[in-house]
Amino acid sequence: MDKDKVKVIEALDPPTNIRELRAFLGHVGYYRRFIHMYAITAASLTKLLRKNEAFEWGEEQQTAFEELKEKLTSAPVLRSPDWNKPFHVFVDTSAFATGIYVHSPDTERNPSRECGLPVSAMNANGRGGAAR
């Protein structure tokens, strides 16, 4: 990872409004597939983007902001699995997100791939449709 880019990310100040939060989440979200448990970590931030939700930056949001910056600037780096070898797929879900973890059992270095999907407000309230 480019050390200059890491310094820029580490020096970021917390967002003070919705526009700045969207910009931060857009930047971090671009790299979401490389961030362990992205959806769960970002949940308290994405909650602030909901319609009729007041922008109130608290300890929970600050912790998530710092955690995302840390995860974006540090190892492990996720990689694609070797499609020619067997691998395991693990799925976990909570009230906030669904996470998918792909791991090749013959490697101990870095996870192969992770994916996090936030549970929409509709599904979280039990009114969502069937999975597609």
Tell me the pLDDT tens digit for each residue of 59-102.
999 999 999 999 888 765 556 667 787 877 878 777 777 777 77
Per-residue model confidence (pLDDT) at position 130: 46
Mean pLDDT taken over the chain = 77
- 79 within some domain: yes
Residue 119 lies in a domain: yes
Task: Give the per-residue pLDDT at 41.
Answer: 92
Name the domain count of the chain: 1
Q: Of 21-30, 45-54, 90-99, which gets the smallest average pLDDT?
A: 90-99
Q: Is 15 part of a structural domain of the chain?
A: yes
| Domain membership flag for residue 88 | yes
Domain extent for 67? 3-124
Whether residue 132 lies inside any domain: the answer is no
Helix 38-46 vs helix 59-73: crossing angle, to nearest 10 = 140
132: pLDDT strictly greater than 50: no
Alpha helices per DSSP H over the chain: 3-10, 18-30, 38-46, 59-73, 121-124
Give the global pTM.
0.61
Say if 130 falls within a structural domain: no
Looking at the domain assignment, is residue 57 inside a domain?
Answer: yes
Is 55 a member of any domain?
A: yes
Q: Which residue has the higher pLDDT, 54 or 131?
A: 54
Note if the bond before 14 is cis, omega within 30 degrees. no
